């Protein structure tokens, strides 16, 4: 136990020199960031907010039918990197992205590529459930309607039902499809947002801390759902919960101050991390 001012100073100096030693460790990514037949392939991605570099040359693949977790201390760039994958950063003033990000071999930052259909192919679920102020039915039907995915009302009804079923919500809402989406519980609203994302036939679903506003029961339901969705989609999830990363993902990427420090099989990252910074984070030495 630290009792005197001198001890506090000694301890602080030791911590600083430890941090310095770690900061001088290699920031080359440890582990294989590539996967065969990747759904998304990111190479040397840099992100700047004005003159501040938030992501430093990150290369990382997202495989087919996998859940990839992105973890790391607050401010390390997880959300920034996630938002690159469907060009959501385009909406932020002063944000610049460079490097290569491909979806099925196609450069998503190509000037000729329209980000609106891209965001249907790479859907996003946010931290706070954000249903439209419309009925449950309309929340799901809106996307397919604007993207012209169905020919008539019968097809649209069927698509709404399928999407709500895939999101595990149909049985709870089938008798009140005209009720407002905002009247559902938080966990149901998040599943409604997932149904809305699924309805436009995405290839990839990005999730930015999708359970952080939910209670443990609603969280467990969403985690089960993520596991089921993996059969049809590639999923990248940002989470602050290492337990959640361990439960839902097959691979985990550890970010630190804008660098991708380590990536590998989730089990290996949590039981046998190769980089000191990863180990410090998962053992709770900082974060």
Ligand X SMILES: Nc1ncnc2c1ncn2[C@@H]1O[C@H](COP(=O)(O)OP(=O)(O)OP(=O)(O)O)[C@@H](O)[C@H]1O
Q: Which residues bind ligand X (CB under 6 A)?
A: 49, 54, 72, 74-80, 92
Question: What is the C-alpha to C-alpha distance for residues 40 and 109, in angstroms, rounded to an integer?
Answer: 13
Sequence-ordered list of residues with C-beta below 8 angstroms from that of 28, at least 6 positions apart, any chain? none
Sequence-ordered list of residues with C-beta below 8 angstroms from that of 138, at least 6 positions apart, any chain? 132, 181
Q: Do 250 and 19 touch, CB atoms closer than 8 A? A: no
Nearer to ligand X, 49 or 132 (CB): 49
CB of 50 to ligand X, least distance (A): 7
Nearer to ligand X, 96 or 174 (CB): 96
Lookup result for tokens 């909406």: 91
CB of 262 to ligand X, least distance (A): 15
Measure the CA angle with vertex 87, ends 103 and 232; round to 5°: 45
CB of 89 to ligand X, least distance (A): 8
* Strands across the sheet containing 204-208: 122-125, 204-208, 234-238, 67-71, 251-256, 259-265
Nearer to ligand X, 75 or 117 (CB): 75
Sequence-ordered list of residues with C-beta below 8 angstroms from that of 219, at least 6 positions apart, any chain? 187, 211, 244
Nearer to ligand X, 80 or 266 (CB): 80
3-class secondary-structure state, position 253: strand
Nearer to ligand X, 163 or 239 (CB): 239
Nearer to ligand X, 94 or 133 (CB): 94
Question: What is the C-alpha to C-alpha distance for residues 3 and 142, in angstroms, rounded to an integer?
Answer: 62
Nearer to ligand X, 77 or 144 (CB): 77
CB of 240 to ligand X, least distance (A): 6
CB of 94 to ligand X, least distance (A): 7
Lookup result for tokens 């190509």: 110
3-class secondary-structure state, position 138: helix
CB of 47 to ligand X, least distance (A): 8
CB of 202 to ligand X, least distance (A): 21
Question: What is the C-alpha to C-alpha distance for residues 195 and 124, in angstroms, rounded to an integer?
Answer: 11
């Amino acid at each position: 136990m630290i009792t005197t001012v001198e001890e506090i100073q000694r301890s602080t100096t030791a911590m600083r020199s430890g941090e310095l030693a770690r900061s001088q460790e290699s920031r080359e990514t440890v582990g294989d960031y590539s996967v065969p037949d990747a759904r998304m392939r990111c190479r040397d991605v840099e992100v700047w907010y004005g003159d501040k570099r938030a992501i430093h040359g990150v290369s990382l693949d997202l495989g087919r039918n996998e859940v990839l977790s992105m973890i790391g201390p607050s401010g390390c760039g997880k959300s920034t990197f996630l938002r690159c994958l469907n060009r959501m950063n385009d909406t932020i003033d002063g944000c610049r992205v460079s490097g290569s990000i491909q979806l099925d071999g196609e450069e998503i930052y190509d000037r000729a590529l329209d980000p609106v259909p891209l965001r249907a192919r790479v859907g996003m679920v946010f931290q706070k459930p954000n249903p439209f102020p419309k009925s449950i039915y309309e929340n799901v039907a809106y996307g397919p309607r604007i993207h012209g995915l169905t020919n008539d009302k019968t097809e649209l009804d069927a698509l709404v039902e399928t999407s709500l079923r895939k999101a595990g919500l149909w049985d709870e809402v089938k008798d009140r499809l005209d009720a407002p989406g905002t009247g559902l519980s938080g966990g149901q609203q998040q599943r409604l947002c997932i149904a809305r994302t699924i309805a436009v036939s995405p290839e990839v679903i990005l999730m930015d801390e999708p359970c952080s506003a939910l209670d443990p029961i609603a969280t467990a339901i969403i985690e089960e759902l993520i596991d089921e969705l993996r059969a049809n989609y590639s999923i990248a999830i940002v989470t602050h919960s290492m337990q959640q990363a361990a439960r839902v993902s097959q691979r985990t990427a550890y970010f630190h101050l804008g660098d991708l420090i380590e990536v590998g099989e989730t089990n290996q990252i949590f039981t046998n991390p190769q980089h000191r910074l990863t180990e410090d984070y998962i053992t709770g030495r900082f974060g």
